[in-house]
Amino acid sequence: MDTHQQGFAKLVTMIDAIEVGMLTTADEAGHMRSRPMATQRAEDGCLWFFTSRDSPKVEEIRKDCQVNVSYSDPANQIFVSVSGLARTLRDEARIRELWTGQAQRWFPEGPEDPRIALLSVEITAAEYWDVDACKMRALLKTNASPSELEAATEHKALS
């Protein structure tokens, strides 16, 4: 494994038990909001979540795709910051692939429910709190930019 893969593997280990992260987005006025999101999958440098396509965050992400997902477990002093580029999309095969009993509670009509969207966060940087050193330490960092994400994903984006 290269350094990037090692960093990603360490990130996955740290957030696996926490599961729910707080996704922070900015609206047009720069006002930042966060809300809990259950992580469905972490793979290939991305985090995957389900969302409702009429949720305000879908519009916020369309206008500004830069987000943060923080994972906190205060009892065990685990704190992780994930910076990334978010997009929302509708990909029925992928929705079925990630479907779980938990998702079913949210969307009782099942994976075919047209309100369901996928929210992916392509990780550009991740850091964790080093308790002994009392500082954040890098887990990984990439050079992805918002414009590259747009070019790569336009065809599947939600309208």
Instruction: Write out the residues near a second copy by the rule CB under 8 A.
Output: 18-20, 22, 24, 26, 30-36, 64, 66-68, 70-75, 79, 81, 83, 106, 124-125, 127, 129, 134, 136
Q: Which is nearer to a second copy, 135 or 155 (CB)?
A: 135
| Conformation bin of residue 52: beta by default, left when phi > 0, alpha when psi is -120 to 50 | beta
Q: DSSP assignment of 113-132, as one string?
A: -TTEEEEEEEEEEEEEEETT
CB of 74 to a second copy, least distance (A): 5
CB of 72 to a second copy, least distance (A): 4
Q: Which is nearer to a second copy, 85 or 118 (CB)?
A: 85
Q: Please say whether the dihedral angle defined by the alpha carbons of residues 52, 53, 59 and 62, taken in this order, is positive or negative.
A: positive
CB of 142 to a second copy, least distance (A): 12
Contacts of 37 (CB under 8 A, 6+ apart): 20, 21, 22, 23, 49, 51, 69, 119
CB of 93 to a second copy, least distance (A): 26
Q: Which is nearer to a second copy, 22 or 89 (CB)?
A: 22
Tell me how far apart the alpha carbons of residues 76 and 24 are, in angstroms, rounded to a whole number: 22
Q: Which is nearer to a second copy, 63 or 156 (CB)?
A: 63
How far is the CA of 152 from the CAs of 52, 96, 145, 148, 157, in angstroms? Answer: 23, 22, 11, 6, 10
CB of 18 to a second copy, least distance (A): 6
Q: Which is nearer to a second copy, 35 or 156 (CB)?
A: 35
